[in-house]
Amino acid sequence: MRVTSTPVFLATSICLSLSSAIPLELQRRAAGAQSDPKQITIDCTNGEDVCNDDCYSILCFNSPNPVQYMLRNDNRGSDGNSEAALRLVLQNPNEGERQARGVNISQDVINQIGTSPEETIMNNAEEGGEGEIMMDANFRQNSFGARVGGQLRSQGVSDGQYYYKTFTNYGSPNPSYCAALQSNPPDTSICTQQGKADTDPSKIAMVKLEEPLAGGKVGWHMMNWDAGDRWSGHNWPGGMKKREEQTEDEA
């Protein structure tokens, strides 16, 4: 049985052309199971940068796709609202204080791309929450993500079903991670490309630390593809408690 393509429309101006590579084996089983997720096409109009972030996370950091739709995702609440914690750091104009929290993004870059945290796994996904790879984005581009959940339901993706994300109308960023992700086969060589701009997703990706820093503050780890960093579904080892344990071991 072939997967029925279910488009999610996030803007009124729609382009029906889509360059995507859906593995053939995903097209032969009943839709909705993990082995055969429903195919969802996300229109990136007015959210091109956010889509590029999401595609980078899938292509280079192995963020999950497909993901499981959860009508109520308790994983996010139990993680202490990473989005709100990161927003406060990004909005802090003191670069030294941001770096002390692990966020090594210059003020110039923040001025260009914004202070709205982007969760690279959809907010409605079971796989989201702890270990989420985050990036900063323009809040005007980031706003469309909040509407996806209702549209998934209206298009027939039920609670507990899996959906596979493809992207269209993602513009022509340089490099274009959505184009690379959806080439056949996916072009992972773009992950090692040198000379990328400081605003590139590879330079602004981060994940929350497992333990708080001094004073109970949330800390962050900047993801580094070259160092082997990948999505794990868990917060990054580190924080004040980890540092104390390391100090005791060294004594």
Q: Which pair of tokens denotes residue 86?
A: 């990161």
User: Average of pLDDT values for 62-86?
Assistant: 76
Which tokens belong to 132? Answer: 């989420």
Q: In whole angstroms, give the CA distance from residue 119 to residue 133.
A: 6
More confident residue, 209 or 123: 209
Q: What letters, b where the CB count within 10 A reaches 16 and e where it falls short, cover 49-84?
A: bbbbbbbbbbbbbebbbbbbbbeebebbeebeebbe
Q: 47: which residues sit within 8 A by CB, 6+ positions away?
A: 10, 141, 142, 144, 145
Cβ contacts of 104 within 8 Å, gap of 6 or more: 98, 222
Q: What 3-state DSSP class applies to 239?
A: coil
More confidently predicted of 133 and 7: 133
**Which of 75-84, 162-171, 194-203 has the lowest average pLDDT?**
75-84
Q: pTM (2 decimals)?
A: 0.80
Phi and psi (nearest 5°) for 67? -130, 160
pLDDT at 28 > cutoff 90 = no
The residue with tokens 């160092």 is 227
Domain ranges of the chain: 5-250
Q: What is the pLDDT of residues 149-182, one digit of tens each?
A: 666 876 788 889 999 999 999 999 999 999 999 9
- Residue 70 confidence (pLDDT) above 50: yes
